[in-house]
Amino acid sequence: MSNKSGSVISEEEADKLAESEMLDEARDVASNLELTLQQVRTGHIDGKKAAEKLVQDSSNLRFKAKSVSIPGFAAITHRLDEYLGGVTELQPQHIKDLQTYSDRILALLDGEDLPQATIAEVVRSMPHKSTFNVEDIEITNTEVLLVIPQKTAGKVVARELEACGYRVTSLTDPLEAITMVLDTRPDLIITSMVMPRLGGADLACALKAMPSTRNTHVAVLTSLTPDHPDMQALPMNVGVIRRGNTFGDDLADVLHKFNIT
């Protein structure tokens, strides 16, 4: 590969150049987020237009985060994207929460180094989406990670958990889930049993095999019969939640089994 002067650069230099360009693009998007918040405060843009713009910017930032090797950055931008997913008009609390995200994201892009031991604490401290009136339920600090490729099914499960006051993060890609588990240290992972590339049994086995995640509670969401080969491959102490009429009871049993309150 050649640079602008025509000289050949190494593969390592090319990778650094590509990441540098992606970082610059991420900084531009993050700066736009900060600018939008300022414009809302000064009345130069209304809450609805600001929400629309921020949703686009956060989605763009989350995409760019996948190509940037900053510890915790992908998890935080994912949370920002989820936070804005249900926001149609910015309210004062939204502005306060989004400023927290903006400050943290810009700090990371400017070189702030999060020690590995503190990443989960920082990510979990970020403002979380709320789909219910806070007066209706008591929000807990319990984190549940859903790994469900079918978005509609994921929303159903997420709403059940959020109605119990749990903080829910949703993913559709099981490979992405491994990084998210390391960055957020969820109290419970609920994964579909049947998924493309990496099935629920594969994901459960991988998590239980790694020293850093072996104590993480895992449950599978499935319609497979207990004697199915994939079910037989599940590690010990993995919860099972059946799709259908027993879903609510099975979910309650899993929460009780892992002492999640």
Q: What is the pLDDT of residue 4?
A: 54
Q: Mind listing the pLDDT tens digit for each residue in 1-20?
A: 555 555 677 777 777 777 78
Q: Mind listing the pLDDT tens digit for each residue in 98-109?
A: 999 999 999 999
CATH class of 11-125: mainly alpha
Q: How confident is the model at residue 204 (pLDDT cuts 50, 70, 90)?
A: very high
**Token pair of 52, please?**
């629309």
207 forms beta bridges with none
Mean pLDDT, range 180-207, rounded to an integer: 94
Mean pLDDT, range 41-55, rounded to an integer: 94
Q: What is the pLDDT of residue 172?
A: 93
- The segment(s) of the chain belonging to CATH 3.40.50.2300 are 143-257
Q: What CATH number labels 143-257?
A: 3.40.50.2300
Mean pLDDT of the chain: 89
Mean pLDDT, range 240-246, rounded to an integer: 91
Query: Of 7 and 23, which is predicted with more confidence?
Result: 23
Q: Residue 64 class from Cβ within 10 Å (0-12 exposed, 13-18 middle, 19+ buried)?
A: buried
Q: What is the pLDDT of residue 131?
A: 57
- The segment(s) of the chain belonging to CATH 1.20.120 are 11-125
Backbone angles phi, psi at 219, to 5 degrees: -135, 150
Q: What is the pLDDT of residue 143?
A: 93
Q: Mind listing the pLDDT tens digit for each residue in 127-156?
A: 987 654 555 566 678 999 999 999 888 988
pTM of the model: 0.85
Q: What is the pLDDT of residue 116?
A: 84
Q: How confident is the model at residue 46 (pLDDT cuts 50, 70, 90)?
A: very high
The set of long-range contacts for 63-68, using a CB threshold of 8 Å and a minimum separation of 24, is 64/22, 64/25, 64/26, 64/29, 65/26, 67/18, 67/19, 67/22, 68/19, 68/22, 68/23, 68/26
From residue 94, how far is each of 34, 57, 88, 100 by CA, in Å? 13, 15, 11, 10
